[in-house]
Structure 1
Amino acid sequence: MSNKPDAKLFYLIVGNNIKKYRTIRNFSLQDLAERVGLTKKTIQRYENGEIKIDVDRLNEIAEALDVEIPKLVEGAETFLGVNLDDLDTVKVPILGRVSCGDGILNIEEIEGYEETPKSWIRGGEHFYVRAEGDSMINARIFDGDLLLIRKQDDVEEGEIAAVLIDSKVYLKKVFKNDGIMVLQSENPQYGPVFRTKENYETIKILGKLKKIVINM
């Protein structure tokens, strides 16, 4: 996004598309402004390409105009390396409490939903969990971060997985040795957890860590 002329062209084209669909819907500047909670002047500046429009705002305008986001960036895709999949989002659940009976993952509580780029969730079922504590700080996972997990019952050696241990979800690095699974924290203050034949039923891999959404 360092090419300023391209940036200007991108926002001009998006602005023209907003104006186009506003006209099609027979909305005045004031009508659209009220639908997205902005001022008439701000909508006008968006349409003129005078100010930057972020993805969240573009989502709100697309919803107000009843169009898909790709329609609002049509013709602007070639500028700034824009990826339309990153602009098109879906809601992914944030799991609160889960359980695992008979090897089946049961969602007992959903904390909420997170708008997520479609490009993040290709291939498989995904969900979020929220990090707690400091056991994974050396992997740059901190308390409160949202962690995007792809649902799967196994991971490769050394990968970080969401693991259900006695009805609570933890993030751990997974290692395997002679039929024993070693779940390792990324903080030397915490020792490893071992899954063996004796406690096999109480420890289950829920999925693989795909993305960390930092809690600001």
Structure 2
Amino acid sequence: MSETRKNVVGERIREMRSAVGYTQVQLGDKVGVDRSSIANYETGKATPPMDIIMKLVDVFNCTTDYLLGRSDYNQFIDDKAHMVNETRVDYTITKNTLVPESAPTVEMVQIPIYGEIRAGYDSLAEQRIVGYEVVSKESVRDGDYFYLIVKGDSMIEEGIHEGMRVLVKSQNHCEHGKIGVVIVNGDEGTLKRVYYEGDTVVLQAANKGIPPRILPIYDVRIQGQVKKVEFDV
């Protein structure tokens, strides 16, 4: 993470901590670190690891994109109504919350983030969730969705690198030529372009060093189809 990004993260942690009325000790207790760690995050001397970032997002009811400085939009969630006011950072601060001065109301939902998808589970609900992202309900109204953190370099020639997140529509099939999350022979799920040839499936990587795999269709387990790739800029 660049020094500029560290400073943005620190400023936003300090800004939102003050807004909700927590001391550094109290915030540290909430996310499981000591006061000095919070102080280091706020001054940019240290970067919060991903598990702490996800806890901070929960404490502040904000998006990871806002906390990490990827966006100047913040989303303020009403826990009871599951609604959000989306606005730029022109807000007023009250004792216990951040209140946008004027913004439209958008219904939001939480999308689970998986660090991995493995075989041997009957459903995604049994997989280990590493965090959540809040998105508009309208953008995912056509099905069940999840985020997957990319591992490996099998799709680097399409600009999909390790550590990026992909938004996946959960389904047990993938359209011909599209990128799917696939599991073969009980391995961890990976991203591949999926092509159908008769009763076989061709799994094509976007890496010249990885040859395509041609497999019987019943040996391939598809967990979903990739709809969007997200990365830092």
TM over 0.5, yes or no? yes
Q: Which residue identity lines up with residue 196 of structure 1 in the other structure?
A: P
Residue 35 in 1 paired to residue 53 in 2? no
Q: Give how far 1:144 is off.
A: 0.4
Q: Which residue identity lines up with residue 161 of structure 2 in the other structure?
A: F
Q: Which residue identity lines up with residue 212 of structure 2 in the other structure?
A: P
Aligned partner of 2:230 in structure 1 is: 213
d(CA) in 2 for partners of 1:93 and 1:105? 10
Q: Which runs of 5+ in 2 are unaligned?
A: 1-17, 23-70, 88-99
d(CA) in 1 for partners of 2:137 and 2:155? 27
Q: How does 1:136-215 map to 2 (within 5 A)?
A: 136-165=155-184, 166-196=186-216, 200-201=218-219, 203-215=220-232
Task: Report SS of the residue matched to 1:54.
Answer: coil
Aligned residues: 154
Q: Is the 8 A contact 2:73 2:86 kept in 1?
A: no
Name the % identity.
28
Q: Which residue identity lines up with residue 141 of structure 1 in the other structure?
A: I
d(CA) in 1 for partners of 2:181 and 2:199? 20
Residue 125 in 1 paired to residue 149 in 2? no
Q: Give how far 1:116 is off.
A: 2.4
Q: Is the 8 A contact 2:171 2:225 kept in 1?
A: yes
**Stretches of 4+ moved more than 3 A in 1?**
70-74, 97-106
d(CA) in 2 for partners of 1:146 and 1:138? 16
TM-score (norm 2): 0.55
Q: Is the 8 A contact 1:99 1:107 kept in 2?
A: no
Asked which structure has the greater CA Rg, the reply is 1
1:69 to 73, 79, 85: 85
Aligned partner of 2:73 in structure 1 is: 55
Deviations 1:10-49 (A, max 9, x none): xxxxxxxxxxxxxxxxxxxxxxx63288xxxxxxxxxxxx
Q: Is the 8 A contact 2:181 2:192 kept in 1?
A: yes
Structure number with the bigger relative contact order (C-alpha 8 A, sep ≥ 6) is 1
d(CA) in 2 for partners of 1:188 and 1:123? 35
d(CA) in 1 for partners of 2:122 and 2:20? 47
Task: Report SS of the residue matched to 1:120.
Answer: helix
Q: Is the 8 A contact 1:173 1:183 kept in 2?
A: yes
d(CA) in 2 for partners of 1:211 and 1:98? 17
Q: Give how far 1:115 is off.
A: 2.3
Task: Report SS of the residue matched to 2:189.
Answer: strand
d(CA) in 2 for partners of 1:142 and 1:73? 39
